[in-house]
């Protein structure tokens, strides 16, 4: 059974003050939010004389969970503002939403599909068709509030989360990455469009580069 976890800071004002982070446990059955705090007041000395901070890890039951609907989350990413994004093995991009109290029409914890159509949301899970170009990976650049989504066809979509990190705007989708790469290095035998495949994406923080925002690694290593 697939079980993914991610630790990230929580949205302020929802949990008790002791909770500093959230631990997300995801199985094909359920997604569970656990609170977490770390008391790092202690110091541990290693045999070679080095001192390392150590502390007590405490987990809190938040009573927040949501069904996974038989979808395994292949990756989970949290933002500095406490938002949680998940990539499912069904090729969709989800956001895990949580709030302090139940609303009239909303639960305390629920997941939102950012890539499905309004019609597909009304269909039962067993009738839903797979994505035409499913998302295979997501990556976050917290320094620019940008979320990247990589598809099985090596397309990359850029999603801007806004200056406050609370928005969700799809601003660009590049579907000609292989062609652009070939134009830059036309003599390279490693950039054959017939077997071009991006296997991973890695954001470059603004503190590391002002011009380079993302590095994409292909199956050939470039």
Query: 109: phi > 0 → left, psi -120 to 50 → alpha, else beta; which?
Result: beta
**What percent of the chain lies above the pLDDT cut of 70?**
81
Residue 122: per-residue pLDDT = 52
pTM for the model stands at: 0.81
Residue 52: per-residue pLDDT = 67
Residue 180: per-residue pLDDT = 86
- The predicted-structure confidence for 76-104, as pLDDT tens digits, reads as follows 999 988 999 999 999 999 999 998 777 67
Residue 3 has pLDDT above 60, yes or no: no
Q: Which of 137, 138, 146, 163 is nearest to 204 (CA)?
A: 146
- Least confident window among 68-77, 95-104, 124-133: 124-133
Q: CA dist 66 to 20, 74, 92, 107, Å?
A: 21, 16, 16, 9
> Residue ranges of the domains in the chain?
1-127, 132-222
Residue 119, C-beta contacts closer than 8 angstroms, at least 6 positions apart = none
Following DSSP, what letter does each residue of 146-213 receive, concatenated? Answer: EEEEEETTS-EEEEE--TTS---EEEEEE--HHHHHHHHSTT-TT--TTS--EEEEEE--TTT-SS--
Question: Tokens 């039962």 correspond to what residue?
Answer: 124
- Least confident window among 6-10, 113-117, 144-148, 176-180: 6-10
Query: CA 188, CA 190: separation in Å to the nearest integer?
Result: 5
Residue 134 has pLDDT above 70, yes or no: yes
Q: If pLDDT is split at 50, 70 and 90, which confidence band does 217 have?
A: very high
Based on the number of CB atoms within 10 Å of its own CB, is 157 exposed (0-12), middle (13-18) or buried (19 or more)? buried
Residue 148 has pLDDT above 80, yes or no: yes
Residue 111: per-residue pLDDT = 94
Residue 44: per-residue pLDDT = 67
- The predicted-structure confidence for 20-39, as pLDDT tens digits, reads as follows 889 999 999 999 999 988 77
């Amino acid at each position: 059974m697939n079980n993914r976890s991610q630790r990230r800071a929580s949205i302020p004002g929802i949990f008790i003050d002791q909770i500093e982070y959230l631990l997300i446990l995801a199985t094909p059955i359920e997604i569970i939010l656990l609170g977490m705090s770390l008391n790092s007041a202690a110091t541990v000395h290693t045999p070679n004389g080095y001192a390392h901070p150590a502390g007590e890890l405490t987990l809190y039951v938040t009573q927040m969970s949501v069904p996974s609907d038989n979808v395994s989350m292949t990756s989970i990413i949290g933002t500095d503002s406490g938002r949680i994004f998940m990539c499912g093995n069904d090729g969709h991009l989800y956001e895990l939403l949580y709030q302090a109290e139940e609303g009239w029409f909303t639960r305390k914890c629920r997941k939102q599909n950012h890539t499905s159509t309004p019609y597909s949301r009304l269909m039962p899970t067993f009738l839903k068709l797979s994505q035409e170009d499913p998302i295979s990976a997501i990556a976050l650049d917290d320094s620019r509030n940008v979320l990247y989504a990589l598809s099985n066809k090596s397309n990359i979509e850029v999603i801007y989360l806004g200056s406050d990190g609370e928005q969700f705007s799809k601003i660009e989708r590049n579907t000609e990455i292989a062609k652009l790469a070939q134009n830059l290095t036309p003599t390279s035998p490693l950039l054959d469009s017939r077997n071009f495949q991006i296997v991973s994406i890695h954001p470059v923080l603004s503190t590391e580069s002002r011009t380079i925002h993302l590095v994409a690694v292909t199956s050939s290593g470039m």
